[in-house]
Structure 1
């Protein structure tokens, strides 16, 4: 006994001795286990782990740790602690552990099978990491487990053994790429209330055994590849939420499902389901969200649907419903979103909708509706209205002026007539107005000048007349202006040059006279310019080469004269039509590729046979034999050409109108539902679809099946100008540039408080992901790294030297370099880019732009914005490609300043050996 007491005394003394005198550890076993785990991890110096001290007697005061009265660990919560590394098998030595939360870190590797020895554990959260491999069967041994979340990792399949966790109440494995079936053993989870298995690649049938989960209220199996029919057995459950959307389900929905009177959210869109809606659905008195879109439902919607006052979202888009629209849908004044487009209804929109105060989004396009538009007298929250492609008649009512918060109105492809109401000038937040393909007439009201937020204005294919109104001069944000196929007269106004944001300008098919104003060359962001089918005279203005982004030019069917020298520097043209004019002289070398279709009925034009590609000269064009021949038309010949061209113009103008209308209608039909599908595919941009975050925006992934996969960037304005500025800058910049190594803008949509930018989704993610996030790290041989480096350089060089004015990106980094399926790089995120006007002095800013670790020293201290700053950032990217180390990496010592550039310089100066710097895996 004395010997034992002596040892205890010596141990107590040792705890107070300085380190050289340690010979017995005073930290208890659980503390030792935690330290052992932490040695597998890398984290930042400011991490919660900095409080973990080996000299403590126990870990009970350590960050993230809770203990029982015996000083043993019962809870470990290290969520969002920036931990990199693996979970070691030591975890099983925490014998009293009841809660383990390691979510939202960078933990890789597999879940150790020893975790099944933590027999007391009740909560296990490993979500939002980069774990991979198999979910160990031993997790099924955790009989006390009540909460399990393994979402957003990279697991293979679901082990049936998980069905043994009989006390499980909440179970989520979302977004993990799971394949194989949903195990029927999950029917043994009789206490589970929430079962989330969405956004995977699960296949096979929905097991009817899930009906044995008698406590289940929330079942989410969406975004998988599940087949067959919906089991009727599920109707026995008291479900409040049933998500089965975006699968491959077929057949009719069982009647038992329509009778689950506890349902609040029923989302079964994006399948192959069919049948009529039974009258029983009106008994679902708690139903709030009801989506059936992209299926094959038919018949008449029960007319009393909505009488229960609970519906907030109804989306039956793209089915085959017929009959009238139920008038009770807005009866409870809870409805926020009503989407019924692409059906075959009869009759008009119920007048009750004009008093639906809660309604924010109304989409009933291409649905065969007739009659007149409702009086929108009490819909103050309306933000988005799309009624295109119906058969509405008569005029647009003045009550539209009461939609004071609306951002988009699309009334195109109807039979509306009469004058535009001046009350449209009350719509101060309106950003997109499409009135095309109607029978509207008269002049555009001057009150439109108040709509200064407009980005897109399409009034084409109507009977508007008079001169192009000066009201448009206030719409400085316009990117699209389409007034084609009307009866506008007079000249093209010179104020057009003040609309600096214009990307698409279409004034074709009117009776405009006079010359093309020389000021049009100030619209340097133009991609499309169409002045065709007018009576314009004179020459194409000189310095047309300033329109460096111009891809589509159509000035056909006018009386334009002189030579084409001003077009000789347009190198990105993809579509050109100069037909039926009076041009003379040689066709510039850069336009010879358009010979066979773009210069018809211009007898004064010729082709210079000195050109290398003279062999492609069409028989319709003569060879330029001398300088005198190129300009030797006599006055008589010119008059004959003009007379012939005018006569032919009247003969083909009808055919031209028909062709132009058909082409535009086809394009509109293809694109009209893209953003709708994107919003539905992401559940209105639900957080579960987030794939990235930036300074000003969040990026979501939208999978549209055969229509492709898109990335959606949402920019919140938040009442500040900065968000709007960022959105406009991104649209302006991306909208004007075209290069294989730059992300291409697919579409934009503006709401009151946010904007959306749509890009094609890049299959391989970002360069940052490939270098640092994917585990195990993929092999990157030097040919691929060289391809990425060169492609990024080409894209950056295009921004700096081929754009006029140059574009400075200001945030070049691996996260903003996206990789497609061929590992071709695409520079993205122009939200902080600045068009650099070299004629003006360098702007100074008190706000640091860019990302720490990539900012050139001169930019960090002076906020100087220049191409050189981008080049420095690109140099850091090259170092990351070579070393596979992050620009700011905690593995660097303090003396290196946690900076890749300083680390490379220090190591190179010390060793002068390239192997020390280069990524060993690439050698």
Structure 2
């Protein structure tokens, strides 16, 4: 639930006077009207105290003025239905708040008869259709109109601008897909305007909007704005907050934008702004500025050093160059600075942190030189330090060893040298330490902070032995120490780390044997001990590690045979350049390990693809004659086959083309929109080379449809005879559902092609394919690291949050806006598809069904779905309602926050079961969050989404939220993330975890 802006609160106080003086009894007519409302809404329990025997002026939802009802506040009362005409029989009604309920239908034009209405809030409901063209028939006294988070479509009518006394107009997060009127600019008294998160047709920001001289807050994020910004934004003299992020605005920032004296917050991220930041920055009261992810060039103006109230500065992901102005380091209010991914050079201002409570310092991926400022944590508030991929040098400031708030320390990819201050290793809050690719020296610490889960020190000059006290580093999940000068034997204690997932110690000087007894490596999935001087045999215990998938022991002095237990789950193995002997175990004796055993003279295999000597003992003596005969026989057969192929090739080609692609079959092609291709374009291209996925009910192809490089996705339903009836039903269900659904977060069905024995569905093609590929690195794009190692591209947290919100909106539309509502039944990360901008769309409705009645449970004849995603009641009773989709979506939220797969919780549990046990066990939530991108900046948001995932996966369906509530929570997290506000109020709406919910 959103917090009302200050003018609205003042208006609320004006409209809702305190009950200080006892009021006379309300009129009988007004009481009758209220009781009729209660009856009309089927007597909701929340209004049980509305009765004939009590005075309505004493009801908490009612405000009276001189015995007359003037206000009704029914927010969050679980009321269903519509708004009846007789509500306006309350002739003196000035205040009506119906937000956060379940009202449906078109905009309630019955409210036109409430002639004195000043405050109207219909937000967070399920109203649909267009806002009526005659909405100006609402009370001309109306000051506040809030239609936020409904499902209104079409245009915003011009007539809304005739409500001339409006102070606040809230229309964000609807489904508007038409235009918005520039005449809104004539609402002279308007103080707050929110049109964000709507799919308007591409439009420029109207020049007329700059006439809004009283407008304080203007939100129009993700509203399909294009073109350049108007040049005279400074005429909006009262503007305090401007949010135009996530649009397609281009051009440069208007030079007068920063002359606005009241402006405190600016968000222009994810637009296409180019050019330089204006030199004349006079908005001395500005507290927050976000110009990130644009195309800004030039220097950071010195004027930023005059913004004495600035707390948050976000200029990341632009093309800014030059040095950082020294004055920025002296801003006393500065807390967060994010200027990473630019072309900035020169030294860091030495006063950073000296005068302010700096908590986030991110200047990574630039060309900065010189030392780290000595006083970054001077006031003891620094949480995150990210300076990686620069050319910084010198030693790490000793002052950081007293920075007890520090959680994230990322300095890799620089030219730092010297030893690490001893106290820095022990900072109590420290979780992530990444200092690879520098010239650090010294030995590893005997003591490491208890919460450190990631320690990366590769490509430095660390020396000495691994301390035996490493067994106390129990939180460690990732330990990367490749290419250092570490020596001695590997201590047995290193195998006692219960949470270790990645261990890279290659390229050092280790000697002795690999510890024979594997104590606690039950989570290890990557082990690299290559390029050392290890001796002895490969421990048999490595073969018992069920999670180990990558192992490199190459270029050592290992001997003996390869344990037969190895290979059950390995996807990469390198044992080359050792002294191993014997026969390759059967599970490793295949082409997948073709370079895994090279340069081991004692190894042998009868599989020539492995590139090592054969184990065959047969003598080659006397076999030359047989070989000649054999070759002659093969040559004769080849000639015969060649002649036969020439004779039948033409017939085979013609037959194959016509039979395989069904060109002799009569196809029915039904298009659901105007298309520039036909079935003859699709059918010949359903080849193996175009396959992009296979599922239980068919194969999916990526098919080119024109020379411009456009593609469609074609799902071919299998046609096995014993499945004909079931697959026919699935085909008809998917066509029926998708042909009537139109939503930006649901995959678009372009057409269907069918004949007697084949069914094809033609969808829009989404370039980034499915979410699970990105979360779980299933053929996701990758890049090469500095050492030639493969680095998978990882979705950052803001992208994951946007994906979650998009998918939630799609499901919300299905559950609450389709008539009748639609239940998907197979929600999972592989059915969340991503376009080239990572917008999420729900796909694969082959298992979906239409519910006969909104609140009725339908019993399906068979259970369908995917392990790890199925709600408990669905698997046991086959009873279906929307709450099974909520459960499945909750699992996706857990995947997004933990990085784990739905079926990968622990040894005998799913992800949801594992997450609940962890939460109820009282362990910190941060322990389960994905280490790939864990960042202190996002921890609160990630924790809130994790909690929301738990709520969605409650054991009892009644305890789960609706998708509408899920959308509201995710939107709250998204807006909090962009504004820098605390997301605690979002998490507060999530019920306390209870044992019965497991």
| TM-score after normalising by structure 1 | 0.67
In structure 2, the residue corresponding to 1:522 is in which secondary structure?
coil
Counterpart of 2:272 in structure 1 is 272
Shift of 1:766: 15
In structure 1, the residue corresponding to 2:399 is in which secondary structure?
helix
- Provide Cα deviations, 1:342-368, integer angstroms capped at 9, x if missing partner: 122221101111514311101111110
Please, which of 584, 598, 601 is the counterpart of residue 599 of structure 2?
601
- Provide Cα deviations, 1:408-467, integer angstroms capped at 9, x if missing partner: 111100011122222314521111111100111221243xx1412211110011111111
Cα separation, 2, equivalents of 1:879 and 1:373: 51
- Provide Cα deviations, 1:490-540, integer angstroms capped at 9, x if missing partner: 122211122211121111121212222133362101122222222222333
Counterpart of 2:571 in structure 1 is 574
User: 1:787 aligned to 2:785?
Assistant: no
Counterpart of 2:38 in structure 1 is 38
Query: Do the aligned partners of 2:441 and 2:463 also contact (CA within 8 Å) in 1?
Result: yes
Provide closer, same or farther for how the CA distance between residues 30 and 117 of structure 1 changes in structure 2, counting only shifts above 3 A.
same
Cα separation, 2, equivalents of 1:361 and 1:272: 26
1:297-312 → structure 2 map (5 Å cutoff): 297-312=296-311
Provide closer, same or farther for how the CA distance between residues 352 and 27 of structure 1 changes in structure 2, counting only shifts above 3 A.
closer
1:399-414 → structure 2 map (5 Å cutoff): 399-414=399-414
Higher relative contact order (CA 8 A, sep 6+): 1
User: 1:422 aligned to 2:419?
Assistant: no
User: 1:373 aligned to 2:372?
Assistant: yes
Shift of 1:161: 1.9
Cα separation, 2, equivalents of 1:797 and 1:78: 35
- Provide Cα deviations, 1:619-660, integer angstroms capped at 9, x if missing partner: 625665699xxxxxxxxxxxxxxxxxxxxxxxxxxxxxx987
Cα separation, 1, equivalents of 2:41 and 2:386: 53
Please, which of 788, 802, 809 is the counterpart of residue 702 of structure 1?
802
Counterpart of 2:439 in structure 1 is 439
Provide closer, same or farther for how the CA distance between residues 771 and 374 of structure 1 changes in structure 2, counting only shifts above 3 A.
farther
Query: Do the aligned partners of 1:298 and 1:319 also contact (CA within 8 Å) in 2?
Result: yes
Provide closer, same or farther for how the CA distance between residues 703 and 339 of structure 1 changes in structure 2, counting only shifts above 3 A.
farther
Counterpart of 2:146 in structure 1 is 149
Query: Do the aligned partners of 1:371 and 1:391 also contact (CA within 8 Å) in 2?
Result: yes
Query: Do the aligned partners of 2:130 and 2:153 also contact (CA within 8 Å) in 1?
Result: yes
User: 1:74 aligned to 2:78?
Assistant: no
Please, which of 796, 804, 807 is the counterpart of residue 674 of structure 1?
796
Cα separation, 1, equivalents of 2:361 and 2:65: 57
Counterpart of 2:981 in structure 1 is none
Provide closer, same or farther for how the CA distance between residues 107 and 498 of structure 1 changes in structure 2, counting only shifts above 3 A.
farther
Query: Do the aligned partners of 1:504 and 1:527 also contact (CA within 8 Å) in 2?
Result: yes
In structure 2, the residue corresponding to 1:161 is in which secondary structure?
helix
1:173-322 → structure 2 map (5 Å cutoff): 173-202=171-200, 203-238=202-237, 239-281=239-281, 283-322=282-321
| TM-score after normalising by structure 2 | 0.63
1:837-856 → structure 2 map (5 Å cutoff): none
Query: Do the aligned partners of 2:443 and 2:464 also contact (CA within 8 Å) in 1?
Result: yes
Query: Do the aligned partners of 2:75 and 2:97 also contact (CA within 8 Å) in 1?
Result: yes
Query: Do the aligned partners of 2:384 and 2:406 also contact (CA within 8 Å) in 1?
Result: yes
Counterpart of 1:334 in structure 2 is 333
Cα separation, 2, equivalents of 1:837 and 1:704: 27
Provide closer, same or farther for how the CA distance between residues 661 and 233 of structure 1 changes in structure 2, counting only shifts above 3 A.
closer
Counterpart of 1:806 in structure 2 is none
Structure 2, unmatched stretches of 5+, are 1-25, 619-782, 810-825, 833-837, 876-882, 910-916, 923-949, 961-998
Q: Out of 357-366 and 577-586, give the one that drifted further.
A: 577-586
Please, which of 755, 763, 786 is the counterpart of residue 661 of structure 1?
786
Query: Do the aligned partners of 1:119 and 1:141 also contact (CA within 8 Å) in 2?
Result: no
Counterpart of 1:533 in structure 2 is 531
Provide closer, same or farther for how the CA distance between residues 83 and 341 of structure 1 changes in structure 2, counting only shifts above 3 A.
same
Provide closer, same or farther for how the CA distance between residues 819 and 409 of structure 1 changes in structure 2, counting only shifts above 3 A.
closer
Cα separation, 2, equivalents of 1:61 and 1:773: 42
Shift of 1:774: 14
Query: Do the aligned partners of 1:568 and 1:591 also contact (CA within 8 Å) in 2?
Result: no
Structure 1, unmatched stretches of 5+, are 1-25, 610-616, 628-657, 682-699, 712-739, 747-759, 799-811, 839-844, 851-869, 881-923
Please, which of 505, 508, 521 is the counterpart of residue 506 of structure 2?
508
Cα separation, 2, equivalents of 1:392 and 1:62: 66
Please, which of 601, 611, 617 is the counterpart of residue 620 of structure 1?
611
Cα separation, 1, equivalents of 2:595 and 2:489: 28
1:463-474 → structure 2 map (5 Å cutoff): 463-474=461-472
CA RMSD of aligned residues (A): 4.5
Query: Do the aligned partners of 1:789 and 1:878 also contact (CA within 8 Å) in 2?
Result: no
- Provide Cα deviations, 1:563-603, integer angstroms capped at 9, x if missing partner: 444544633x3333333334432333267352334333345
Counterpart of 2:95 in structure 1 is 99
Provide closer, same or farther for how the CA distance between residues 223 and 793 of structure 1 changes in structure 2, counting only shifts above 3 A.
closer
